[in-house]
Amino acid sequence: MSEKFDVIVIGAGPGGYVAAIRAAQLGLKTACIEKYKGKDGKLALGGTCLNVGCIPSKALLDSSYKFHEAHESFNVHGISTGEVKMDVPTMVARKDQIVKNLTGGVSALLKANGVTVFEGHGKLLAGKQVEVTGADGALQTLAAENVILASGSTPVNIPPAPVDQNIIVDSTGALDFQSVPGKLGVIGAGVIGLELGSVWARLGAEVTVIEAMDKFLPAADEQIAKEAFKVLSKQGLNILLGARVTGSEIKGEQVTVSFTNAEGEQQLTFDKLIVAVGRRPVTSDLLAADAGVDMDERGFIFVDDQCATSVPGVYAIGDVVRGAMLAHKASEEGVMVAERIAGHKTQMNYDLIPSVIYTHPEIAWVGKSEQALKAEGVEVNVGVFPFAASGRAMAANDTAGLVKVIADAKTDRVLGVHVMGPAAAELVQQGAIGMEFGTSAEDLGMMVFSHPTMSEALHEAALAVNGHAIHIANRKKR
């Protein structure tokens, strides 16, 4: 007879392991199934985010930015150094150690909360049975009252540039270069492409980003996107918009990429090429033919606003369902589903999920952009404050970018906060907290912000919405 659980979670990424922990905290007998192995060949929990996504990329971004500062900016502070060098293998080894520490931490958390971990591939069968295929091919079947599908996503490959993880790599391979490429190509000017391109550009690579779309960062506010394009281009990212890749050819240790743009057929040769055109859900072999769970033609699982699938008692969260592929979205969906299984009426506010690009300056936003609101016919007031006018930013020699607050012209309710600049991710989160409680621009303007801080830029932008900014000239007076 198969072992019975209250909850079985397939996948131990930021959605799955969080769902499992929360379910166990609520007194539910919980199992979590994961098959991913780390570089040491052992089970590695944490999914894409901890192993080959959010965390390792941030480790490389931070290391490379410290090198960039030492190489380019220390003299501004009166700091003189000798020749600054980067030991790439040491940088990558540090990244690997951070990953190992965190994935080990997830394992300890699951154990501490009483979650039973099964190593292997999980597959949903009919009747909420789950088949686990171990690394040795051995099969076992588990049963559950509730199943949560959290199998995550994987990089999209494109026929014109097949990944070999040597010369042409995906986002995973780009985390493990052992030396700085002389010339680096990046296909895709999204979050992943810009972050990985920034890492290697800071270390000295000549980076060209090839983007098929004519518009840069279309999901971001247009004013922020334009400023970001200007700043990132100045930093050395050669961003080609409206350029569609048609083919690639590896010759020796280089790859020649063919693409078309407004000027016709073009070719560029690189030492390494990163394919970063997006991610797709991992749902192949996740569901038996008679499991009853509905999917679309792209492999995404259909769910309602509470992440329930077409089968009662079966839920899906994270990258396998609609919405942005973000670790924090997946985690909160995991909490919501676990709590709903336990009988709580937890809801999730999908309108206030922050987005962040960890270039430097960071680019972040929450809520709607000015162009989206105007397209909906919403009349808005806008407040903008540049970091060039921030005393704290000047002291840190980090003045690129701006904070933008958008409010409803009739109610003054804040509808969007958009930031490009130092600590953008943290400032946008402040905006998200206020927006969750229905803050107005006036409310933000009346709050006392510590001085001197980067946060004051948010304060001033909120004041500027109604023409009350103190440290810049106002666009209008009231």
Q: Which of the residues 451, 459, 468, 471 is marked catalytic?
A: 451
CA-closest candidate to residue 301, choices 449, 147, 107? 147
Beta strand 279-281 with 153-155 is: antiparallel
- d(CA 371, CA 367) in angstroms, rounded, equals 12
User: What's the one-letter identity of residue 450?
Assistant: S
- d(CA 35, CA 13) in angstroms, rounded, equals 11
Residue 416 burial class via C-beta count within 10 angstroms: exposed 0-12, middle 13-18, buried 19 and up:
buried
- Contact status, residue 198 vs residue 64, Cβ threshold 8 Å: yes
Which parts of 175-288 fold into alpha helices (H)? 191-202, 222-234
CA-closest candidate to residue 361, choices 206, 235, 209? 235
- For 116, phi and psi rounded to 5 degrees? -85, 120
- d(CA 236, CA 197) in angstroms, rounded, equals 10
Beta bridge partners of residue 316, listed in sequence order: 149
Q: How far is CA 284 from the centre of its chain?
A: 23
- Contact status, residue 62 vs residue 360, Cβ threshold 8 Å: no
Residue that the structure tokens 């409310």 belong to? 443
Residue that the structure tokens 């700091």 belong to? 79
CA-closest candidate to residue 49, choices 331, 249, 308? 331
**Helix orientation angle between 54-72 and 88-112, rounded to the nearest 10 degrees:** 140
Query: Which residues have a Cβ under 8 Å from the Cβ of 216 and sit 6 or more positions away?
Result: 189, 225, 226, 228, 229, 239, 241
Residue 408 burial class via C-beta count within 10 angstroms: exposed 0-12, middle 13-18, buried 19 and up:
middle
Query: Quick one: how many helices (H) and strands (E) in the chain?
Result: 12, 22
- d(CA 428, CA 239) in angstroms, rounded, equals 26
**Residue 137 corresponds to which tokens in the numbers above?**
């091919």
Neighbours of 62 (CB within 10 A): 17
Task: Mark whether 451 is an active-site residue.
Answer: yes
- The catalytic site residues sit at 451
